[in-house]
Chain A
Amino acid sequence: MDTLTTTKPLATYVVRHADDNLVLGQRLSEYISWAPELEEDLAIANLALDHIGVAHHLYDYAAEVEDDGRDADGFAFLRDERQFTNVQLVERPNTDFAHIMARQFFVDAYQVPLWDALARSADERLAGIAAKAAKEARYHLRHSRMWVLRLGDGTEESHRRMQAAIDELWRFTGELFEADDLTDELAAAGIGVDPATLEAPWRRTVLATLAEATLDEPHETVMRTGGRRGLHTEALGHLLAEMQFLQRAYPGLEW
């Protein structure tokens, strides 16, 4: 059993999804003030807040389940890189606007069926958080899909950039659908979802959108893996260093 983040399987499972959302929210917030237009800047700030909000609810719940004195901030600010269990996709850098929207699109197309499934969880608290997150994820997908279409089917330059982003990030998408002992156990209990069941709806959304955006489906490639086990790309450490600095330098600081 995976005891990377906590000894309770449910808490570990909840923290995985919290980590996905916190890291993505932090990544998006780095981009605020850099978006190509004012309206998009506000949209990205909203996305960041939505993801951080979901992470907050999930960490709170994980802290209650763990019941070991650690709170949401403890999860967010006082764990090291190897204890973060987010998928590597969400930590990938803000290379350009196309990469940001491609990353968002891959995550959104995964989170819509994820939250829909978890909204039916036997665990009421998790189901409640998921039901709220599902509404947000639907809008997120509307937004990112729109940009994949606009850039893919836009100018020669925007098409080139979106195709490059899709190709570059494709190898990080396999990890979204990896099952392990923990997901097996929680799916069997009716609490979690088997990640493999999310792949078919994800592919339907993604492939239909790529086709409509005149983008090519990337070639089969070796998928990166390891995030759920605390193995990350170089990008995560830098993100955490910035995000955690204040709590590390001034432990317990409140503002």
Chain B
Amino acid sequence: MSYSVPKIAGEADPEVVGSTTHLWPRWEVFVRPRGGVTHVYSESVHAPDAETALCNARDTYLRRVEGVSLWVVPSDAIARWEPGDDRPRRRTEGSRRFWEAFIRHRRGAQFLHAATIPAVDEFDALALARDTFLTKSDGVEVWVAPSDELVAADPDEAPMLFEPFSDKHYRFARFYDIPEEVGHM
């Protein structure tokens, strides 16, 4: 079995050393926390397919956050914009499809799902997302991905995916008493 290696903008070619893990495509993970109004970017996982990606995302990122919804998006389906990127805004004529737009307003701020927007292509979607959600002075990262590339965990499976974490307080560092001698950690 072989997998194509997704090329990620700005990232060196993956180097394979003694393991084939890196040959698995990368998936970007978004979690909506309990009480949260939107999905928040939670880094990535490697997985051979969407089902495995959802499992890996659940096991990796829901230990520290009480989530109520989980999305994964193949990394190579995402188009990205950052300040300084002056690619032409090509507004191609043609039929529109839906895109998911993700925005980080300031450095250090959470990277949030902003909206589902209709656009012709990735350039159109990036431009629309910037025009709609950013002011001239803010915005450090914008991602768009076709909505049909996004895979959401089945809401019917929420009890099995999310509830088992809700009463496990030992997941959090504050569960543990730090001996005085240790000082600040």
A146 pairs with B161, CB closer than 8 A: no
Q: Are B21 and A36 in contact (CB under 8 A)?
A: yes
Q: Which residues of A contact B48 (CB under 8 A)?
A: 150
Q: Considering the complex, give the chain B residue whose CB is closest to the CB of A53.
A: B168
Chain A interface, >50% SS class: helix
Nearest neighbor of B61 in chain A, beta-carbon distance: A42
Q: Identify whether the interface residues of B are mostly helix, strand, loop, or mixed.
A: helix
Interface centre among B19, B160, B167 (most CB of A within 10 A): B160
Across the interface, do A146 and B51 meet the contact criterion of CB distance under 8 Å?
yes
For the complex, count residues of A whose C-beta is within 8 A of B.
Answer: 22
* Interface size in chain B (residues, C-beta < 8 A): 25
Which residues in window 141-170 of A have CB below 8 A to B?
142-143, 146, 150, 154-155
Asked if A42 contacts B19 (CB within 8 A), the reply is: no
Known A36-B19, A39-B60, A155-B1; contact A136-B55, beta-carbon cutoff 8 A: no
Interface of chain B residues 51 through 75 with chain A (CB within 8 A): 51-52, 55-56, 58-60, 63
- Interface of A toward B, CB cutoff 8 Å: 36-40, 42-43, 46, 49-50, 53, 132, 135-136, 138-139, 142-143, 146, 150, 154-155
Chain B residues with a Cβ under 8 A of chain A: 1, 19, 21, 24, 45-48, 51-52, 55-56, 58-60, 63, 157, 159-161, 163-164, 167-168, 170
What are the 7 closest A-B residue pairs judged by CB atoms, nearest first?
Answer: A39-B56, A43-B59, A138-B160, A37-B21, A139-B160, A136-B164, A42-B59
